[in-house]
């Protein structure tokens, strides 16, 4: 009986999460178009956040289009970077924020900005096809992780991109469900009103949620442009990253209106418990008679598992690189799904108390699109 209740609970949580995802993708996203560019690159100041990775930062700075001339690197250690002004966050700076959030808040207070927007990038974010910013208070750019060292962590990123096509619906929601700080443009006056001075492990999502809590809504939009990034170099790094995401999201969910707080909790639980999804279909076959309403459970578990394949296919389509990549991620989807979700499970049962930086590797070891197609 206990096993039956546990398995049914996992299945029903997954169904709720899948149903909402399906609603967003099929009904909210359907027919929507990406916004037009209304602010050209001259209206943007770029700030790249790093701890101490000059080689990686130099490549990211070199990838910034020449039309963007106001460029700044916010670092924890001094470094010599061509093409950008480097600012070092002093040890004496005091803030409620930690790690990256502390650096963001120091930059807000100390780096002059006369532009309409501040575009924040991670140290490994490569701007490609950047032509400007749509007219919104917060503009989320899309990401395209590239393989660094681990093939499995890269495939998990492809899988994640398939799930994250739901982001297209976020401009229609009262509260965006999450944000990605590796490519996010924020209107400078909004940044100064909301600030980054908040203790959190998910600075970018927390900023958007704080903006909603402060103003009742936020003018949020999703740009068509994709920025290249690095996939986590190891499975361990990916698990740590996902753990921080889930724990941070759950700890900050009190900022949300009650319906979104409940929605976020259900989605987080479904994600954290989803490592069990590939095995749900096997339990009635291996241990028959242990689950109440066994036939209904079998049908439901097959439906839940089918979305693991759906997200794999959607991720491969998002990359649009090679048929081989699509076949590999679909065939390995049970394993890839488990690895993607295991960090969320860790974040649920043993939430981290501090920010763990996802280390990047030297740019020459990161796949280019051409090498990915060739399968190197």
Lowest mean pLDDT segment, chosen from 77-91, 315-329, 347-361: 347-361
Q: Residue 220 pLDDT more than 90?
A: yes
Number of domains in the chain: 2
- CA-based R_g, the chain, Å: 21
Residues 97 and 195 in one domain: yes
The pLDDT of 55-84, averaged and rounded, is: 96
Summarised one tens digit per residue, pLDDT across range 233-250 is 999 999 999 999 999 999
Residue 246 lies in a domain: no
Question: Residue 312: its pLDDT value, please?
Answer: 96
Are residues 42 and 67 in contact, defined by beta-carbon separation less than 8 angstroms?
yes
Residues 64 and 174 in one domain: yes
Residues 22 and 49 in one domain: no
Question: Residue 171: its pLDDT value, please?
Answer: 96
191/304: higher pLDDT? 191
Question: Residue 3: its pLDDT value, please?
Answer: 74
The conformation of residue 183, written as its DSSP 8-state character, comes to: E
Are residues 83 and 71 in contact, defined by beta-carbon separation less than 8 angstroms?
yes
Closest CA to 97 of 87, 86, 108: 108
Residues 9 and 87 in one domain: no
Rounded CA-CA distance 374/370 in Å is 6
The pLDDT of 136-150, averaged and rounded, is: 95
Residues 223 and 354 in one domain: no
Q: At what angle do helices 235-252 and 203-215 cross, to 10 degrees?
A: 20
Distance of alpha carbon 21 from the chain centroid: 16
As a whole number, the mean pLDDT across the chain is 91
Print the domain residue range for 346: 2-28+262-374
Q: How confident is the model at residue 364 (pLDDT cuts 50, 70, 90)?
A: low
Residue 239 lies in a domain: no
Q: Residue 343 pLDDT more than 80?
A: yes
Are residues 304 and 14 in contact, defined by beta-carbon separation less than 8 angstroms?
yes
Residues 368 and 312 in one domain: yes
Q: At what angle do helices 333-349 and 258-273 cross, to 10 degrees?
A: 120
Q: How confident is the model at residue 355 (pLDDT cuts 50, 70, 90)?
A: low
Question: Residue 374: its pLDDT value, please?
Answer: 40
Q: What percent of the chain has pLDDT over 90?
A: 76
Residue 238 lies in a domain: no
The pLDDT of 279-300, averaged and rounded, is: 76
Q: Is the pTM of this model over 0.95?
A: no
7/98: higher pLDDT? 98
The pLDDT of 88-108, averaged and rounded, is: 96
Q: How confident is the model at residue 370 (pLDDT cuts 50, 70, 90)?
A: very low
Lowest mean pLDDT segment, chosen from 38-47, 173-182, 356-365: 356-365
Indicate which CATH number applies to the domain containing 220.
3.90.550.10
Are residues 132 and 41 in contact, defined by beta-carbon separation less than 8 angstroms?
yes
Q: Residue 376 pLDDT more than 60?
A: no
C-alpha neighbours within 13 Å on the C-beta side of residue 95: 23
8/176: higher pLDDT? 176
Q: At what angle do helices 258-273 and 235-252 cross, to 10 degrees?
A: 160
The conformation of residue 182, written as its DSSP 8-state character, comes to: T
* 335 Cβ neighbours under 8 A, 6+ residues apart: 152
The conformation of residue 234, written as its DSSP 8-state character, comes to: S
Question: Residue 280: its pLDDT value, please?
Answer: 72
Residues 336 and 210 in one domain: no
Q: Residue 142 pLDDT more than 70?
A: yes
The pLDDT of 107-117, averaged and rounded, is: 97
Q: What percent of the chain has pLDDT over 70?
A: 92
The pLDDT of 211-231, averaged and rounded, is: 94
Looking at 190, 209, 231, which one is the last position of a domain?
231
Are residues 350 and 244 in contact, defined by beta-carbon separation less than 8 angstroms?
no
Are residues 230 and 361 in contact, defined by beta-carbon separation less than 8 angstroms?
yes
The pLDDT of 121-131, averaged and rounded, is: 93
State the pairing for strand pair 70-75/126-127: unpaired
Residue 326 lies in a domain: yes
Lowest mean pLDDT segment, chosen from 81-90, 104-113, 287-296: 287-296
The pLDDT of 47-54, averaged and rounded, is: 91
Rounded CA-CA distance 73/309 in Å is 40
Question: Residue 313: its pLDDT value, please?
Answer: 96
The pLDDT of 262-266, averaged and rounded, is: 98
Q: Would you say how long the chain is, in residues?
A: 376
Q: Residue 372 pLDDT more than 70?
A: no
């Amino acid at each position: 009986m206990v096993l039956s209740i546990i398995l049914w609970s996992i299945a029903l949580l997954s169904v709720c999460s899948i149903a909402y995802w399906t609603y967003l993708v099929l009904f909210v996203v359907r027919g929507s178009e990406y916004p037009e560019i209304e602010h050209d690159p001259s209206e943007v100041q770029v700030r790249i956040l790093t701890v101490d990775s000059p080689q990686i930062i130099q490549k990211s700075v070199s990838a910034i289009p020449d039309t963007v001339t106001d460029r700044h690197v916010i670092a924890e250690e001094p470094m010599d970077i061509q093409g950008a002004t480097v600012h070092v966050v002093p040890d004496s700076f005091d803030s409620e924020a930690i790690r990256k959030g502390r650096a963001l808040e120091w930059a807000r207070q100390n780096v002059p900005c006369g532009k309409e927007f501040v575009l924040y990038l991670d140290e490994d974010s490569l701007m490609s096809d950047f032509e400007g910013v749509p007219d919104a208070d917060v503009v989320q750019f899309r990401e395209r992780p590239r393989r660094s060292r681990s093939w499995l962590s890269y495939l998990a990123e492809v899988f994640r991109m398939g799930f994250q096509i739901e982001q297209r619906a976020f401009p229609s929601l009262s509260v965006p469900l999450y944000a990605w700080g590796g490519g996010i443009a924020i209107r400078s006056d909004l940044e100064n009103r909301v600030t980054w001075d908040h203790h959190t492990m998910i600075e970018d999502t927390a900023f958007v949620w704080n903006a909603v809590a402060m103003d009742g809504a936020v003018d949020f939009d999703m740009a068509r442009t994709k920025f290249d990034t690095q996939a986590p170099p190891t499975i361990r790094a990916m698990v740590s990253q996902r753990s921080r995401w889930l724990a941070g999201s759950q700890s900050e969910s009190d900022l949300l209106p009650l319906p979104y707080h409940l929605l976020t909790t259900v989605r987080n639980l479904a994600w954290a418990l989803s490592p069990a999804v590939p095995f749900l279909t096997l339990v009635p076959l291996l241990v028959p008679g242990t689950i109440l309403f066994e036939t209904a459970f079998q049908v439901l578990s097959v439906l839940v598992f089918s979305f693991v394949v759906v997200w794999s296919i959607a991720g491969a389509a998002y990359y649009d690189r090679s048929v081989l990549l699509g076949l590999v991620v679909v065939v390995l989807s049970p394993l890839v799904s488990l690895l993607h979700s295991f960090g969320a499970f860790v974040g649920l049962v043993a939430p981290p108390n501090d920010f763990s930086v996802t280390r990047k590797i030297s740019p020459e070891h990161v796949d280019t699109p051409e090498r990915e197609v060739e399968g190197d």
